[in-house]
Structures are given as structure tokens and as C-alpha cells.
């Protein structure tokens, strides 16, 4: 398609190997599944909650289901996909932990991107003004925002550890989707990264339960 793809979606597309089975949750206009289908020969499908987007995307010939992350993932069988993608949506779902569990049940790997609530501007605004931060990433007032579960990069690392997910790759990116140079230092990434992008894999039960030597 002529339309330019969001940079973070391009980064995600590059993480997916050719021919993979992919589910994009919250696929909006289908840019990622279109890219994956056309350039990587993937079997890419989408779920989207906004019916107008679903209508437009199906009318472009892309396979999209009307549905949402909180209630529709349970209807997919185990390991139906190689990659399950959730971009910029985790903070807006009802039960993020459950959504991640479902993603790693139906997919071998999960790719998750979310806006980082640990960014220095967010911290500074709350500290300085005593009010809920409003930045270019967190752009809506607290009573209007759909982002009911904000988290920081550090929070996310801790959740992955609790749930037993292996973080295979991660990077911090700025609002434009460009990689930030904080790759080696998660505490700096947590301070300076506007968005985060993670690739997770469930540690297989066989390994998790391996007896300690």
C-alpha cells in the first residue's frame, strides 16, 4: 500500500520471519498484516475492536475479526500462531496479565509494544505539578483516557519474570518509532524511552520444571 507504515510497526515486521502465522491484536487499519502478507508471505490475521476499521480493512481484502483482546483470545486453540502481536494496546485492556497469558498460549511468541509510563517527562510532571501527566504519548486527560493500565518498562520486566516469560528481545523507542540508544541499560531506557517493544517466549514447561542439579 502507498501509505507509509508506522515506524514501530516496521520494527515489528522485521522481527517476524517469513512465512510465519501471525495474529495482530488491535490491528487498526491492517497495515502490519498487509505488510507481513505481501512482503513476507506470512499468514497474518487481525482482531480489531473498532467496527469502522474492521469494515475498511476487510474491504481491502485482509482477514480481520471484530473482537477485542480481553474477550476473544480465549476462542483460539493453543499454539495456533507463531507470533501474536499487541502494539500500543496493552495499557488499554481490562486484564493485561490475562491477555499476555492468552497471547503466549495461542502463540509461540508474543510481540508487545506499549508506551512507557516511566519516561522522565511523565515522572517530572507528576512530581512538579502534582497532576496526572499529559505528554505527546499520554495525550488525554485522566478522565478521558482509554489507557487504564499504564506501566513502566521496569514494571513490564517484573511481570515477565513473575509469569515466567523469556524476554528474547527488547528495545526502547521514541514516539516516532526510532530506536533509542538505551539498549544496554534498562534503567536508562525506563527514563528516556517513550515506547517499549518486547519479544517474549513462554519458557517451555519442560525447562521450567527441570530439576535443580
Partner 1 sequence: MDQGEPQEIRHQSARFADGLMLDCGVQLPELVVAYRTYGALNAACSNAILICHALTGDQYVGENHPLTGKPPWWDQVVGPGRPVDTDRYFVICTNVLGGCMGSTGPSDLRPDGRRWGMDFPPITIRDMVRAQKKLVEFLGIDRLFAVVGGSMGGMQVLQWAATYPDHVFAAVPIATAAYHSAQNIAFNEVGRQAVFADPDFNGGQYYDTGRTPAAGLGVARMVAHITYLSEEALNRKFGRRLQDNDLLRQGGLALFGDIFQVESYLQHQGSTFVRRFDANSYLTITRAMDYFDLAAEHGGDLPTAFAGTPTRFCVISFSSDWLFPTAESRAVARALNRAAANVSFVEVETDKGHDAFLLDEPDLHRILAGFLAGCARHAGLAT
**Per CB under 8 A, 76 contacts partner 1:** yes
**Per CB under 8 A, 2 contacts partner 1:** no
Q: What's the DSSP call for residue 87? A: E
Where does residue 201 rank: exposed (0-12), middle (13-18), buried (19+ CB within 10 A)? middle
**Per CB under 8 A, 59 contacts partner 1:** yes
Q: How many C-beta neighbours within 10 Å does residue 34 have?
A: 21
The DSSP element (H or E) to which 188 belongs, if any, is helix 186-192
Q: Which residue has the cell 534503567?
A: 187
**Per CB under 8 A, 129 contacts partner 1:** no
Q: Which residue has the cell 487498526?
A: 28
Among the residue ranges 8-16, 73-81, 172-180, 181-189, the one whose residues contact partner 1 (CB under 8 A): 73-81
Q: Rounded to an integer, what distance in angstroms lies between the CA atom of residue 35 and that of residue 135?
A: 30
Residue closest to 120 by CA, chosen among 105, 135, 108, 131? 135
Q: Which is nearer to partner 1, 107 or 115 (CB)?
A: 107
Q: Which residue has the cell 495482530?
A: 24
Among the residue ranges 10-18, 71-79, 144-152, 192-200, the one whose residues contact partner 1 (CB under 8 A): 71-79
Figure out which of the listed residues 5, 7, 65, 166 binds partner 1, where binding follows CB under 8 A: 65
**Per CB under 8 A, 61 contacts partner 1:** yes
**Per CB under 8 A, 72 contacts partner 1:** yes
The DSSP element (H or E) to which 202 belongs, if any, is strand 195-202
**Per CB under 8 A, 62 contacts partner 1:** yes
Query: Closest separation between CB of residue 64 and partner 1, Å?
Result: 5
Decide: 57 and 67 in contact? Cβ < 8 Å. no
Contacts to partner 1 from residues 6-45, by CB under 8 A? 43, 45
Helix and strand totals (H; E) in the chain:
9, 7
How many of the chain's residues bind partner 1 (CB under 8 A)? Answer: 20
Q: Rounded to an integer, what distance in angstroms lies between the CA atom of residue 50 and that of residue 39?
A: 26
Figure out which of the listed residues 58, 132, 134, 159 binds partner 1, where binding follows CB under 8 A: 58
Contacts to partner 1 from residues 79-108, by CB under 8 A? 80
Contact track, partner 1, 38-57, x by CB under 8 A: -----x-x-----x--xx--
Which chain residues interact with partner 1 by CB under 8 A?
43, 45, 51, 54-55, 58-67, 72, 75-77, 80
Amino acid at each position: 500500500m502507498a501509505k507509509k507504515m508506522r515506524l514501530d510497526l516496521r520494527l515489528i515486521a522485521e522481527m517476524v520471519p517469513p512465512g510465519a502465522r501471525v495474529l495482530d491484536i488491535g490491528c487498526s487499519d491492517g497495515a502490519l498484516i498487509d505488510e507481513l502478507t505481501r512482503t513476507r508471505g506470512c499468514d497474518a490475521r487481525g482482531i480489531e475492536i473498532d467496527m469502522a476499521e474492521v469494515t475498511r480493512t476487510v474491504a481491502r481484502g485482509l482477514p480481520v475479526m471484530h473482537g477485542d483482546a480481553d474477550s476473544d483470545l480465549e476462542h483460539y486453540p493453543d499454539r495456533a500462531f507463531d507470533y501474536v502481536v499487541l502494539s500500543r494496546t496493552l495499557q488499554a485492556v481490562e486484564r493485561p496479565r490475562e491477555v499476555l497469558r492468552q497471547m503466549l498460549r495461542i502463540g509461540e511468541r508474543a510481540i508487545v509494544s506499549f508506551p512507557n509510563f516511566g519516561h522522565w517527562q511523565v515522572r517530572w510532571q507528576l512530581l512538579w505539578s502534582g497532576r496526572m501527566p499529559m505528554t505527546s504519548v499520554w495525550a488525554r486527560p485522566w478522565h478521558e483516557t482509554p489507557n487504564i493500565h499504564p506501566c513502566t518498562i521496569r514494571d513490564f520486566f517484573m511481570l515477565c519474570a513473575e509469569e515466567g516469560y523469556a524476554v528474547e528481545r527488547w528495545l526502547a523507542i521514541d514516539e516516532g518509532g526510532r530506536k533509542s540508544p538505551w539498549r544496554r541499560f534498562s534503567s536508562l531506557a525506563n527514563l528516556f524511552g517513550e515506547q517499549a517493544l518486547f519479544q517474549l517466549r513462554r519458557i517451555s514447561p519442560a525447562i521450567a520444571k527441570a530439576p535443580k542439579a
